[in-house]
Amino acid sequence: MTPMLRHYLELKSQYPDAILFYRMGDFYELFFEDALRVAPLLDLTLTARQKGTPNEAPMCGVPHHAVAGYIGKLIRLGLKVAVCDQVEDPAQAKGLVRREVTRVVTPGTISELALLESKEENLLGGLVWLAGAGGGGGVGAAGSGGAGAFLEVSTGAFFLRRWRDPSEAVAELEVLRPRELLCDLESLPPSLRSWAERDVVCRTALEPHLESPAKAAERLARQFGVATMRGFGLEEGEPGVRAAAAVLAYAQSTQRSRLDHVTEIRLRSASDRLVLDATTLANLEVLRTQREAERGSSLLTILDRTVTAPGGRLLRDWLRRPLRELPEIAGRHDGVGALAADPSRLARLRSALASVADLERLATRAVVGSLTPREAGSLRDTLIAVPPLLADLAGLPSRLIDAAAATDAVPDLAADLDTGLEAEPATNLDDGRVIAAGVDPELDQYRSLASDAKRHILELEERERKRTGISSLKVRYNRVFGYSIEITRANQAAVPSDYVRRQTLANAERYVTPEVQELEERILHAEDRRLAIEKALYAGLVARIAANAARLQRLGQAVATIDALAAFAEVAARRGYVRPELLPAGSGVTIHDGRHPVLEVALGESFVPNDLELDPASSQIVLLTGPNMGGKSTYLRQAALLVLMAQAGSFVPARRAAIGVVDRIFSRVGASDDLARGESTFMVEMIETSNILRFATRESLVILDEVGRGTATFDGLSLAWAIVEHLHETVRPLTIFATHYHELTELADLLPRVVNRTMAVKEWEDRIVFLRRVAPGSADKSYGIHVAKLAGLPEAVVKRAQQVLANLEAKEFDPEGRPRLAHGEMPADRKSAQLALFTPPARIEEIVAGILRELDLERLTPIAALNLLASLKERLE
């Protein structure tokens, strides 16, 4: 092995789980297994070093100026990259140029803006679960169960979640979707381990970064400059402290930095926000549509009119974690209302925000020492633009806006950057001017020497001509002897005494002086000195930015808040949204002429608004019937989205809305399977419904669509009936239950808080017109065959279905008691009476008698007894 390859393998052994990019001249090279693995992923040509020898080394490479794009591709695939740079000037090196790994880029620790989604967070997570705490029953608070710590390296946001039950942890992790997870799979409960193995693209071993409880608490206290973590609500021995310390240690090791911008950790609780699990976010298409991996026509697409990256991230978080406290919600509504009521100021504000950079992430770049000059220029321009932007908010009636406007705009740093940086700094220090003229006289002189050496030579030449009186005097340059003053033989008598002969020519002599030697030295080394001085001055500016990271973060958060409120205000003004009246929890939901925020954009004026009344005392459960394509699913989602929007701080698409705060929104909508887990469509449906029945409270909102349709008719009807009863008698959340089981509408007569609503249709000449209007009452049929015809089903199939439906509705049976489905008319002597449930009379009585014999009266509740008697009576009749 050559010394270079031996050095490569030595570094590789220190980073075995990372792809090592090894700098050689103008390229980053990859060798051995890394080259074989990466070449097909990056579409690179695979070659070899020492080809044909026993020590042949497979290799491939990428140009150094394009390395960020290649690293980005690998990061998106869940891989880690260790970057090895030359840390010694090749011209000064003796032997092998010294190289070191200068950074490790992993999916969860990215700080490069080009590799990050500007409007999405990029979380690094860590899980610690106590042994024996996997069941979830009877666990204590701080010291039991498990915890997750989550760090956004690019902004410094750091928070902690405690969990009692593994299923609770899985539900939240599916929403947070960390890009990288530190965990020990063997120590996790089975459900959590299964999730980590299936859904996490990049997993990192936790053990190397896991410290003892005392050392973990000490690491965090040192990071935050406190004596104890109790002020953050954390105890030394709990899992969360160890998880947070491990995450911090890992991030510090990859970034080669203390991460001084991470100044606090927040303890999050499920009770401080409206909870939306991953299923609900997906079913309601809050962040992305179900048909597309990207946003598509999601709620976020409609509401995100932010013009800054931090504003986009904040608005996304508001939709994912809506508020529950009435004063906080009112504060956001005040801000939206104040901006929406002043269109000219709103337009000025949004125009000014468009030039604001990502202060949080730029501050982080300074802290980790990777801020480029052009990014520093962007930061300077933002700090100059923000004060007038904040001043324009003065006088608006909003606590949030007042607080943001009073934020420190970091004027001293803005002045330093404005004085110290060129108007348009180069992308890199090596590429051109970065430090402004006049900051450092020595830099100005070297810069002048490097860019205009000829002018300095001519100026020296002119001074020496005047001094000596020799008009033919010239300053010459020779590769061997360097710069010298050339004087012809005819003028030798006028040569000053301080001239030192350097070279004799045929017709002239060449001399040097101390000034010539000094100028020569300065010209020959001007570029190196310019670069060294400029790097030192720029490093000082970056250090000042890093020292102000906390102030920049606060300013960035204030600007993000203003941008998010302005986005809500822009949508409200443009779409005719109204401010909802927010009421205490348990007050119900009343909406007049509500509209689906996404569909109204797609359908325009053809969208039909609808009312909604959910009252815990009189209309706790709305049973919604109606035809396929009638709009039931739209109505369900619309109700949930309007509640979500109101609690997120947005105005809502309605004529009027009064909304009691809810603690969770649950949804069971649509048909889907999970083949990877071996779960059928019906199993997924039942799992999601079970989750609702377990975790919903009286302050929750539940929307259920066609529960029970994935199995046999009687099974599904029985389940749907029992689920509605349970929601009414036991859990009692506000519920909208859409169904094709018309039998369920009888529950409105049996249960006092159940009401029937239907999607109105109009029949005309064997066709139906969907009115999309919700009306009191229930539907008597589903119009499924009409919808099938609209979908283009072959005419023969449609006609045959109509025949079968006619026989079923007539309740005709063959002699054996089975439904008659054949073509044509049945002979009169073979027609049976019209019987309920397609069963002959004798068989009906046998069934009723059997049910009564097996009945356990001691376990029968009064409401169940009434329901059973009504069912048996209907069968007998």
CATH of the domain at 166: 3.30.420.110
More confidently predicted of 254 and 828: 254
Report if residue 42 sits inside a domain.
yes
Residue 842: pLDDT band (50, 70, 90) is low
For residues 201 and 238, membership in a common domain is answered with: yes
For residues 366 and 511, membership in a common domain is answered with: no
Report if residue 418 sits inside a domain.
no
Q: Mind listing the pLDDT tens digit for each residue in 157-214?
A: 999 999 998 999 999 999 999 999 999 999 999 999 999 999 898 999 999 999 999 9
> Percent of the chain, pLDDT > 70?
90
Strand partners, 125: 150, 181
CATH value at residue 784: 3.40.50.300
pLDDT score at 712: 66
Report if residue 403 sits inside a domain.
yes
The beta-strand segments (E) located in 174-288 are 180-183, 203-205, 266-268
For residues 30 and 71, membership in a common domain is answered with: yes
Q: Mind listing the pLDDT tens digit for each residue in 544-574?
A: 999 999 999 999 999 999 999 999 999 999 9
Question: CA dist 518 to 450, 524, 529, 531, 539, Å?
Answer: 14, 10, 14, 19, 28
* Over residues 36-49, mean pLDDT: 93
pLDDT score at 13: 95
Residue 796: pLDDT band (50, 70, 90) is confident
How many structural domains comprise the chain? 6
* Residue 554 burial (C-beta neighbours within 10 Å; 0-12, 13-18, 19+): middle
Report if residue 29 sits inside a domain.
yes
For residues 250 and 368, membership in a common domain is answered with: no
pLDDT score at 677: 53
CA distance 498 to 520: 17
Q: Cβ contacts of residue 343 below 8 Å, gap of 6+?
A: 573
Question: CA dist 644 to 91, 274, 280, 595, Å?
Answer: 63, 8, 11, 14
Report if residue 285 sits inside a domain.
no
Q: Cβ contacts of residue 313 below 8 Å, gap of 6+?
A: 119, 120, 121, 560
Q: Mind listing the pLDDT tens digit for each residue in 625-663?
A: 988 777 899 999 999 999 999 999 999 999 999 999 999
CATH value at residue 18: 3.40.1170.10
Residue whose structure tokens are 């279905």: 801
CA distance 770 to 763: 9
**Which DSSP letter does residue 824 get?**
S
For residues 571 and 671, membership in a common domain is answered with: no
pTM of structure: 0.84
Sign of the CA dihedral running 591, 597, 599, 605: positive
738, 769, 790: which is the final residue of a domain?
790
More confidently predicted of 315 and 785: 315
Average pLDDT, the chain: 88
* Over residues 743-764, mean pLDDT: 88
For residues 519 and 593, membership in a common domain is answered with: no
Residue 838: pLDDT band (50, 70, 90) is very low
For residues 775 and 800, membership in a common domain is answered with: no
pLDDT score at 771: 80
Q: Mind listing the pLDDT tens digit for each residue in 96-121?
A: 888 999 999 999 999 999 899 999 99
- HSE (CB half, 13 Å, CA atoms) of 461? 18
Residue 135 has pLDDT above 60, yes or no: no
Residue 828: pLDDT band (50, 70, 90) is very low
* Most trustworthy range by pLDDT among 74-83, 86-95, 804-813: 74-83
Q: Mind listing the pLDDT tens digit for each residue in 406-425?
A: 889 999 999 999 999 999 99
Residue 600 has pLDDT above 50, yes or no: yes
* Residue 787 burial (C-beta neighbours within 10 Å; 0-12, 13-18, 19+): middle
CA distance 218 to 238: 13
For residues 39 and 134, membership in a common domain is answered with: no
CATH value at residue 331: 1.10.1420.10
pLDDT score at 292: 55
DSSP reduced 3-state for 115? helix
Residue 849: pLDDT band (50, 70, 90) is confident
Residue 726 has pLDDT above 60, yes or no: yes
CA distance 748 to 226: 60
For residues 385 and 309, membership in a common domain is answered with: yes
pLDDT score at 772: 85
SS (H, E, C) 688-718: HHHHHHHHCCCCCEEEEECCCCCCCHHHHHH
Domain with 151, as residue range(s), is 116-268
790, 823, 844: which is the final residue of a domain?
790
Report if residue 435 sits inside a domain.
no
For residues 634 and 781, membership in a common domain is answered with: yes
Report if residue 777 sits inside a domain.
yes
SS (H, E, C) 329-386: HHHHHHHHHHHHCCHHHHHHHHHHHCCCCCHHHHHHHHHCCCCCHHHHHHHHHHHHHH
pLDDT score at 627: 80
770, 790, 810: which is the final residue of a domain?
790
For residues 699 and 772, membership in a common domain is answered with: yes
DSSP reduced 3-state for 152? strand
Residue 293 has pLDDT above 80, yes or no: no
For residues 220 and 87, membership in a common domain is answered with: no
Report if residue 543 sits inside a domain.
no
Given a contact cutoff of 8 angstroms between Cβ atoms, the answer to whether 154 and 362 are in contact is: no
Residue 832 has pLDDT above 50, yes or no: no
